[in-house]
Amino acid sequence: MIGKASPPAANPLRRTLRAIRDLASRLPQRHQSLTVIVGMAFVTAILPLVVLAPPLNGFGRQNDWLDGFANAGVFVLLAMGLNVVVGLAGLLDLGYAAFFAIGAYTYAYGASPFSGLDVPFWPMLLVGAAVAMVFGLLLGAPTLRLRGDYLAIVTLGFGEIVPVVFLNADTYTRGTNGISGVYQPVLPIVGNFGFGNPMPYYLTMAAIIAVAMILLYRLQDSRLGRAWMAIREDELAAASMGINTVTTKLLAFAIGASTSGLGGVFYASKLSVVSPDQFGFVISFTVLAMVVLGGMGNIWGVAVGAFVIYELQSQGLKQLNSFFGGLGLPPFHLGPLTVDLTSINFLEYQFLLYGLALVGMMLLRPEGLFPSRRRRAELRDEADAGAANEELVQA
Amino acid sequence: MDFGLLLQQTINALTIGAIYALIALGYTMVYGIIELINFAHGDVFMTGSFVTMWLLTTLGFQGTIKDPLTLAGVLALAFLVAMTVMGAVGVIIERFAYRPLRNAPRLAPLITAIGVSFILQNIVQSIWGPSPVSVPQIIDVQASFRVGGTPIRFLSIFIIVLAIALMVALQLFVGRTRLGRAMRSTAIDREAAQLMGVDINTTIALTFFIGSALAGAAGVVQGLYLGNTVFTAGFQAGLKAFTAAVLGGIGNTTGAALGGFVIGFIEVGSTYLGYTRWSEAVVFTILILVLVFRPTGLLGQQLAERA
Amino acid sequence: MRLLKLGAVATTAALVFTACSSSPTPAPSGGGGGGGGSVQEVKIGVDLPLSGGELPNGGPTLNGVKLAVQQISVPGYHVTVEAEDDAVNGVHDPTQGSKNISTLVNDPAVFAVVGPFNSNVAQAEIPVSNAAGLIQCSPANTNPGLTKGADGAALRKTNPTKIAYVRVATTDDIQGQAGADIAYNVVGAKTAYVVDDTETYGKGLADVFDSSFKALGGTIVAHDGAGKNVTDYTSLLTAAAAKNPQYVYFGGVTSTGGGLLRKQMVAQGMGNIPFGGGDGISDGSAATASSFLNLAGPQGDLNTYSTVAAIHDIPNPDAFKAAYKAAFSTDPGSYSASAYACTQIFLDALKAVGSNREAVRAFVTTTAHKYDTVLGSISFDANGDTSQHIISYYKFDPTTKDWAFFKQKDFGTAG
């Protein structure tokens, strides 16, 4: 109701942004899949060219960028999956990395010298997603009846347990050493995905994201999607409207988990090693920050948010490092622990920035950078809604 | 001999349990009054241990203080400073991060709490660095007396007694004083309390102050006991303390204290049985099982469930 | 100038020792080289943890590389150092390592890479450098699985015959033996208690200590694992104390609990039990903030032993130390000389075969080649492991408040 009528914007920039947002949201739902395909194809085609232009070409070669983009894609996938749980269904999952780990280990079992198996990558994508989904159901079935904040803590506990199990069940997981030498994907015609050549990974990731995005959009607009949002906004009301809240929440959980598993399979195949220490709370937290900052409930917003945040943390902060590093001043001139400007690592402040962004976002713009309209309406409390209405009236 | 070992491990469990219990009280009080899992609470505890470290090193203490009078004075000062500073930090966090979101959907303050947790960690990290740092152990860590040949450390006894004293004081405060009554009534029905003349904002701020001050006390205790702290110490301790609060029945202060000791026994028990590698997994599995099968905890919630 | 003297001394020493070996290295040409003609810009890549709590490990190691590059000039080339940091939020990170090595692979000026420091980072990097044929030399990796057996083979799957990873540090299977040797033969302990930090390096080392100590005839009273989240070792130690161990061995690094463990042993009245660990706790004097000795505290550092998986009696230690101090105003770290040696080997190769990556890789990994390095004469076996199996033994010295070297032992071709 707030979004439909465009209030006169204070400045042209805001007006343009609003116009773009409206345009994007008005794309006919019938053609949504097509829009995603065209959009992803466009982005996929243009990104490798963009990084050739200054100043980006100064920060790294095209291959470095594509390698980073493929890594970022993993987080885009994770964020889109968590968005189903947090953004659409309104359940706080703080152990999301556990499903990522399960997906990654599933692939490592299916295709590594450790198990002796060599199942091709493509079916393993589905297997990884399915296994993660099963674990999502196993965890969700007993716990989703709990109140929302209890669920947060249960998932947090689960996220802590899973790496401990991978670490200590060393007969089955090779413990702390992890499983190394995990096979890389093979395409029927193109052949092996090499380490030095990130392009196949980049394209594969783009395709996976496109497919996941289409499926998620379709889910969101389905009966199930509407049920998720109904639960998010008022669980009691949703239940009294005849929605089976437990099953509906369970499905959100399972779909989120399977998307995470998908990301895990890709991650394992690209890094070629899985070990328990790669899947800690930091991953869960980073993905949550991406979802919140991107705009809970908005699929493409979350995807863009994840991509931007990943690139900022892996490239942006690094550029600050090399900027100050470039100023010269050899370190260690004042004793081994005196840190001079050269050795300040801005990457270290990544989590401080996340923390500030989360708090600031919740206080000032809880709907995220790219809000979903319905979510925005919900997250703004009455006072804000009133103010917005006043704005409308004055117009 | 086996009895001696059992006795020693019991003391160990009670000592570490006392630390968890002190942290758990803050979780349970805050949850009781505004139904928020204050994820930043573990980091308040961690920050408290750093404040202690900073205070003691600034005062020039490096090791054991021999003179009992000086020791008592320095200890009192350490607790006073850490509890006041952390209490104030708690109030500030509530004022700026949680109060504006009091009427927002529940997800919002929960996410803010996680953000605050990371902010605290990173502030501490940028001041004192990411490596573990030594905390001066001003109480002689080795001094002990013997029970049937088994050495029992004074330090452990001091920690257990202190924790229990703080808990009793808290019970008396909540149960017997006017402010305590305000807290209880706010927890039961915020609006009704307001109508009865309770200043809601002050009461909630007070709750944060007390809870955070107790976490600060736990920080001092941790420093004295382990002689060491690190900026990530709050996460695991906080998670375990929260488990303790849930185990005891969230919102229930007696339950939180009991839960803390139970977690201490579970941890030490898994070591005793030779499963140290699994102790984390055991604690969190218990958390999940309790939440699934007995979400009201061992002693049950004292709060009315608000829809 | 000091550099040339050092190089010359090392070369002479090596020539004396290996008089009849077919050293392919031409004697360093006197003078600063690189006089006329076109000078080619080439880079030595470095991947180390360079921030947070691991800076004390990575920083001095990087300095070793820098010192070598400053001191040794190769005619026709201008060599610079391109350093990447694999620590994220203060902790070494395999994903970051993988990305760093890819970045270095994609930089055509990089002809060789020194690093990484940590074994789990190496697991993610070796497949990348192997596929690219870019030679990597680790100054500090000690996990046996990186090169040996089926694990090693799995990591270099792309080009199984073209080894692209060598290391000058001796592997943990030997360092663990050395730890057991200290416990059993130096200290004379017959029973030992082992704690590991559940991480790749720590558990690997502790497991070897465990089996070697038993092989020597000792008894392991218990072997526990406590990850880096564990801060309270009290109950572990109470349980261990009841079993009266004569020695306590810690497999892990300072940041995962080494210092705490030792400190809490004192609190438990176990302070007089000798304590040992690997190079993970050999990280500077008690004056160094957050070092093992610093955290273990005023009483906790007595009777403590550590090993470093590298030669201590380098052919000319004073010259190296002086040169390092002149350049960086501090004493070298445990792996500064190792990093210097890696760089020396690369510069030898550059001198001999030019900057072509494959040529450098093939040259360095030729098992017959011997290199006269600051560590003495080194060659690599078919897996890329160093032929030098020397472990240095250190004991805490209460007067200097620092580790004091007391012995080095050559474990020969064993392992």
Q: Is B146 on the interface with C (CB under 8 A)?
A: no
| CA distance linking residue B232 with residue B43, whole number of Å | 8
Structure tokens at C232: 């309270």
pLDDT-based confidence at C26, cuts 50/70/90?
very low
3-state SS, one letter per residue, for A207-218: HHHHHHHHHHHH
**Closest C-alpha among A257, A158, A167 to residue B285:** A158
Q: Is residue B29 part of a domain?
A: yes
Distance CA C410, CA B83 (A): 56
Whether C329 and A333 have beta carbons less than 8 Å apart is answered as: yes
Which string of b and e fits C15-40 if b means at least 16 CB within 10 Å? eeeeeeeebebeebeeeeeeeeeeeb
User: A323 falls in which pLDDT band (50, 70, 90)?
Assistant: low
Mean pLDDT of chain A: 78
pLDDT band at B23, cuts 50/70/90? very high
Kindly indicate the confidence band of residue B216, based on its pLDDT and cuts at 50, 70 and 90. very high
Cis-peptide into C116, omega within 30 deg: yes
Residue A19 pLDDT: 75
Cβ neighbours of residue A42 under 8 Å, at least 6 residues apart? none
> Could B278 and A168 be called an inter-chain contact, meaning their C-beta atoms sit closer than 8 Å?
yes
Is the predicted pLDDT of residue A293 greater than 60, yes or no? yes
Residues of B in contact with A160 (CB under 8 A): 239, 280-281, 284
Q: Name residue, tokens 């070598």.
A: C68
Using the predicted structure, report yes or no on whether residue C412 has a pLDDT greater than 80: no
Least confident of A184-193, A353-362, C244-253, C375-384: A184-193
Point out the least confidently predicted range of A69-83, A378-392, C42-56.
A378-392
Kindly report which listed range (B22-31, B45-54, C315-324) carries the lowest average pLDDT score.
C315-324
Strands C376-378 and C371-373: antiparallel
- How far apart CA C345 and CA C65 sit, in angstroms, is 11
The mean per-residue pLDDT over the stretch C104-127 comes to: 89
* Of the partner residues B110, B115, B239, the one whose CB lies closest to the CB of residue A160: B239
Residue B22: pLDDT above 90? Answer: yes
Nearest residue to B92 (alpha-carbon basis) of B209, B219, B199, B214: B209
Mean pLDDT, residues A140-153 taken together: 79
Give the confidence band of B46 by pLDDT, cuts at 50, 70, 90. very high
- C262's tokens: 């030792």
Please indicate if any CB of chain C lies within 8 Å of the CB of B122.
no
Partners of C403 in beta bridges: C396
Domains of chain A, earliest start first = 27-280 (1.10.3470)
Give the residues across from C203 on adjacent strands: none
To test the contact with chain A by mutation, choose from B93, B107, B110 the residue with the greatest count of A C-beta atoms within 10 A, namely B107
Output the pLDDT for position A376: 63
Nearest CA in chain B to C197: B277
> Average pLDDT, stretch C385-397?
83
Dump pLDDT digits (tens) for A253-271. Answer: 999 999 999 999 999 988 8
pLDDT of amino acid B127: 86
Mean pLDDT: which of B88-92, C153-157, C372-376 is highest? B88-92
Q: Residue B248 belongs to what domain range?
A: 2-130+147-293
pLDDT classification of C112: cutoffs 50, 70, 90: very high
Least confident of A67-71, A145-149, A170-174: A145-149
Query: Is pLDDT at B198 greater than 80 in this prediction?
Result: yes
What residues of chain C lie within 8 A of the CB of A282, using their CB?
89
User: Does residue B20 lie in a domain region?
Assistant: yes
CA dihedral A48, A49, A55, A57 (to 10 degrees): 60
Coil, strand, or helix at residue C308? strand
- Chain B residues lying within 8 Å of C263, measured CB to CB: 134, 226-228
Is the confidence at residue C193, as pLDDT, over 80?
A: yes
Among the residue ranges A157-171, A373-387, C101-115, C253-267, the one predicted with the least confidence is A373-387
Q: Are C78 and C34 in contact (CB under 8 A)?
A: yes
Least confident of A46-50, A377-381, B209-213: A377-381
Residue A148: list chain B partners with CB under 8 A. 106-107
Residues of B in contact with C225 (CB under 8 A): 276-277
Q: Worst-scoring range by mean pLDDT, A117-126, A176-185, C10-19?
A: C10-19
Which residues are bridge partners to C397 per DSSP? C402
| Mean pLDDT computed over C93-115 | 87
CATH number at residue B68: 1.10.3470
pLDDT at B159: 93
pLDDT at C33 over 50: no
Number of domains in chain B: 1
Q: Which of A198-212, A279-293, A318-332 has the lowest mean pLDDT?
A: A318-332
Contact flag C329-A345 (C-beta cutoff 8 Å): no
Q: How far apart are CA B128 and CA A343, in angstroms?
A: 16
The answer to whether residue B300 is domain-embedded is no
Contact flag C255-B12 (C-beta cutoff 8 Å)? no
Q: Which tens digits make up the pLDDT trace of B86-130?
A: 999 999 999 998 998 888 877 788 888 888 998 998 889 888 877
Asked whether residue B135 is domain-assigned, the answer is: no
C-alpha span between C314 and C320 (Å, rounded): 9
Asked if residue B139 is part of any domain, the answer here is no
Instruction: Indicate yes or no: CB of C267 within 8 angstroms of CB of B274.
Output: no
Cα–Cα distance measured from residue C332 to residue A332, given in angstroms and rounded to the nearest whole number: 11
- Please name the member of A175, A321, A350 whose beta carbon is closest to the beta carbon of C89: A350
Collapsing DSSP to helix, strand or coil, C80 comes out as: strand
Tell me the mean pLDDT in the region B241-263.
87
C98 CB within 8 Å of a chain A CB: yes
Could you tell me which of B116, B89, B79 has the C-alpha nearest to residue B101? B116
Enter the tokens of residue C118: 């940590």
What is the rounded average pLDDT for all residues in chain C?
Answer: 80
Percent of chain A with pLDDT over 70: 77
Q: Can you name the residues that pair with C305 across neighbouring β-strands?
A: C276, C395
Q: How far apart are CA A127 and CA A265, in angstroms?
A: 9
How long, in residues, is chain B? 307
Q: Which residue of A has its CA nearest to C143?
A: A177
- For position A79, what pLDDT does the model report? 93
Instruction: Say if residue C281's pLDDT is above 90.
Output: no
Which pLDDT score, from 0 to 100, does residue B90 have?
94
What radius of gyration, in Å, describes the C-alpha atoms of chain C?
21
How near does any CA of chain B get to the CA of A145, in Å?
8
Residue C370 predicted with pLDDT over 80: yes
Question: Looking at beta carbons, which residues of chain A come within 8 Å of B116?
Answer: 355, 359
Under DSSP, the state recorded for C161 is T
Mean pLDDT over the full length of chain B? 87
Q: Residue C56 — very low, low, confident or very high, per pLDDT cuts 50/70/90?
A: confident
**Full set of structural domains in chain C with CATH:** 2-169+312-384 (3.40.50.2300), 172-308+392-410 (3.40.50.2300)
Question: Span B219-234, mean pLDDT?
Answer: 89
* Whether the predicted pLDDT of A335 surpasses 70: no
* Range scoring the smallest mean pLDDT among A13-17, B13-17, C155-159: A13-17
Instruction: Pick the range with the lowest mean pLDDT from A3-7, A237-241, C39-43, C136-140.
Output: A3-7
C349: nearest Cα among C317, C341, C41: C341
The pTM assigned to this predicted structure is: 0.82
pLDDT band at A182 (very low <50, low <70, confident <90, very high): confident
Q: Could you report the per-residue pLDDT of A195-252, keeping only the tens digit for each?
A: 667 788 888 888 899 899 889 888 888 888 888 888 888 888 888 888 888 888 899 9
Chain C touching partners, 3 or more CB pairs below 8 A: A, B
